[in-house]
Chains A and B, each alone.
Chain A
Amino acid sequence: MLILECPCCGVKGEETEFHGGGEAHIRRFGPGSSDEAFHDYLFAKENPRGVHFERWRHVNGCGKWFHVARCTQTLEVFGSYSAQTTEPPQDIKDAITAKRPGWRWREFA
């Protein structure tokens, strides 16, 4: 079971109270960008076994979006943090490093 904590309302609930919103920290490429960049933005998603960053919405609770850092292999959650950021905060990165030394995910490490 995946247990998530919503950083907006502080509720700790199980997965079915939330709704997954796909990969986090995606840079968007729209009009004016190259076909390749637009293709990668649309289709080239991370699919790691291990550390992963996702967007989630507390759909049956406070309704807010937030970010989660978790492990896809063990369902361990390293932390959740605000949606209003373009990269994981340092304390989340530190928490991951403590558990998974040498982790990398896209440009973050």
Chain B
Amino acid sequence: MSEAKTALPGALFDGIAVIEEAGLQGMITLRGDLGDKALASALHDVTGCALPGPREVALAGEKGAAWMSPDELLVMVPHGETAAAVATLDARLGERHALAADVSDARVVFDIRGAYAREVLGKLMPVDFSADAFGPGQIRRSRMAQVPAAVWMTGEDAFRVVCFRSVAQYVFDLLKTAASEGGEVGLYA
């Protein structure tokens, strides 16, 4: 195996919010019947998380599962455990009409932290990021400027964004511009 590398290793920007590439993250697309108990129990085996409901994300330390669509989950595990997790899911799902695919190298993950994190994302996505409308445990897939992205909260004023690796530089530049000094709007203050 070649050495795995993220799209923008160590990328960091400190403005009205901190933008940082999150590093290697094992990500598995799991498609199948989310109502199937076997799928929920396989997910629990791999991540320790219960099946997230619609538009929800379940996190347990470095592991987690995000609800992506009525028949799709994004399963997150430490990068080194991805192959084993896919094998476990494959074995547990057996002959069922389901798919587990390692997509770690096709995606990039950014962390956005700081008091203005909501605002930085609000500038780029057609989504209401006020605390009343968006909080921990929720995931929102939408567009970030011109590309698709998914976002959820990892803590108070801390967000995680996942998008395609091919647009990593574009998304990092967008976030940098939105978080540049003097860019505060105060909408969610």
Interface residues of A (CB under 8 A from B): 8-11, 13-14, 16-17, 59-64
Contact = CB atoms under 8 A, between A and B. Distances in A.
Contacts of A13: 126-127, 142
A9 B143 contact: no
Q: What are the 4 closest A-B residue pairs judged by CB atoms, nearest first?
A: A62-B69, A60-B143, A60-B148, A61-B141
B141 A8 contact: no
A11 B125 CA distance: 14
Given A16-B126, A17-B126, A60-B148, A11 B140 contact: yes
B80 interface: no
A60 B141 contact: yes
A61 B54 CA distance: 12
Contacts of B127: 13
Given A16-B126, A64-B69, A10 B54 contact: yes
B180 to A, nearest CB: 24
B44 to A, nearest CB: 23
Nearest to B140: A11
A60 B143 CA distance: 6
Given A14-B126, A16-B126, A61 B70 contact: no
Given A9-B55, A10-B54, A10-B55, A17 B143 contact: yes
Contacts of A60: 141-143, 148
A8 B142 contact: no
B143 A64 contact: no
B22 interface: no
A17 B55 CA distance: 16
B68 interface: yes
Contacts of B140: 11
Given A9-B70, A62-B68, A62-B69, A17 B54 contact: no
Specify which of A10, A17, A60, A64 lies most central, judged by the most chain B CB atoms within 10 Å of its CB: A60
